[in-house]
């Protein structure tokens, strides 16, 4: 994975077909550049690929193929030309009850098919209030990254997304994000002997706060949810984060 900052747009289950056409009209992929990855709903992926966007999926299943109605495999995703997969998003962990073990299987299969992994980790408000953040992040990291080869780590970005900051317009302080990123890098270094894994921040990143967040010295980029569905806001974020 390159060391320059990346911006990942997670559109979640938003936008209708007409909105996507409009979005594509407003943003030309070449205005985004190499360091921007768009993760639309799966049905829209081919539209973005056709216009040369770097594309990721928001989720995939851990089996190679088979009778799993409604799911998509890493093999299918790779065969289409998609390069990234988000794994372990808190909405998957929460609403769909994905366990650390499921997430580990997804990480393994994603790497097996040559995709880059964007691994989401983050504590809930309750865990934060109980001062369990460090413990939760450590557990999520150690479980998600089991059974990997040394070279696999070159294809992983960790997205630190405090659950309480997602879609709330509330963000941690820059100092807290910086300290947590250092902690995450330290865990990966200590337990997997991999130095300086890229860590991006996600949770209420907007065109209003991007300048401030972008000044965090050890942040490798941003995972943007809500604001990525608005072409104008997303362009502004990209401009600040990757086109300084």
Query: Looking at the annotation, which residues are catalytic?
Result: 89, 161
Of 109 and 203, CB closest to ligand PEP: 203
Cβ proximity to ligand PEP: between 81 and 167 the closer is 167
Least CB distance from residue 72 to ligand PEP, whole Å?
A: 19
If one counts every other C-beta atom within 10 angstroms of the C-beta of residue 102, the result is 19
Q: Using CB atoms, what's the residue nearest to ligand PEP? A: 225
Closest residue by Cα to residue 52 from 75, 35, 16, 28: 28
Give min distance, CB of 48 to ligand PEP, in A.
Answer: 18
CB of 226 to ligand PEP, least distance (A): 3
Query: What is the chain's Cα-based Rg?
Result: 17
Under 8 Å between Cβ of 200 and 168: no
Q: Please identify, using beta-carbon distances, which residue of 148 and 226 lies nearer to ligand PEP.
A: 226
Q: Which residues sit at the interface with ligand PEP, rule CB under 6 A? A: 10, 161, 166-167, 202-205, 223-227
Distance of closest approach, residue 165 Cβ to ligand PEP, in angstroms: 6
Residue number, 58 or 73, with CB nearest to ligand PEP: 58
Least separation in angstroms between residue 62's CB and ligand PEP is: 20
Between residues 88 and 148, which has the closer beta carbon with respect to ligand PEP?
88
What is the 3 state secondary structure string of the chain? CCCCCEEEEECCCCCCHHHHHHHHHHCCHHHHCCCEEEECCHHHHHHHHHCCCEEEECCCECCCCCCCCCCCEHHHHHHHCCCEEEECCHHHHHHCCCCHHHHHHHHHHHHHCCCEEEEEECCCHHHHHCCCHHHHHHHHHHHHCCCCCHHHHHHEEEEECCHHHCCCCCCCCHHHHHHHHHHHHHHHHHHHCCCCCCEEEECCCCCCCHHHHCCCCCCCEEEECHHHHCHHHHHHHHHHHHCC
């Amino acid at each position: 994975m390159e060391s320059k900052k990346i911006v990942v747009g997670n559109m979640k289950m938003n936008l209708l077909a007409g909105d996507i056409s409009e979005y594509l009209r407003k943003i030309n992929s070449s205005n985004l550049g190499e360091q921007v990855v768009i993760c639309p709903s799966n049905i829209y992926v081919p539209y973005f690929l056709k216009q040369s966007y770097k594309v990721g999926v928001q989720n995939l299943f851990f089996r190679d193929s088979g009778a799993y109605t409604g799911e998509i495999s890493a093999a299918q995703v790779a065969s289409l030309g998609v390069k990234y997969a988000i794994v372990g998003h808190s909405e998957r962990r929460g609403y769909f009850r994905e366990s650390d073990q499921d997430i580990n299987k997804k990480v393994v299969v994603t790497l097996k098919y040559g995709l880059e992994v964007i691994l989401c980790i983050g504590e809930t408000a309750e865990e934060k209030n109980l001062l369990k953040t460090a413990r939760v992040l450590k557990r999520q990291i150690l479980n998600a990254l089991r059974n990997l080869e040394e070279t696999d780590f070159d294809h992983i970005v960790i997205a630190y997304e405090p659950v309480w900051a997602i879609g709330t317009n509330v963000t941690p302080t820059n100092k807290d994000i910086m300290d947590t990123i250092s902690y995450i890098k330290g865990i990966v270094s200590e337990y997997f002997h991999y130095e300086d894994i890229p860590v991006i921040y996600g949770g209420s990143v907007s065109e209003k706060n991007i300048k401030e967040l972008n000044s965090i010295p050890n942040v490798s980029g941003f995972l943007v949810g809500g604001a990525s569905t608005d072409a104008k806001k997303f362009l502004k974020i990209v401009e600040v984060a990757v086109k300084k």
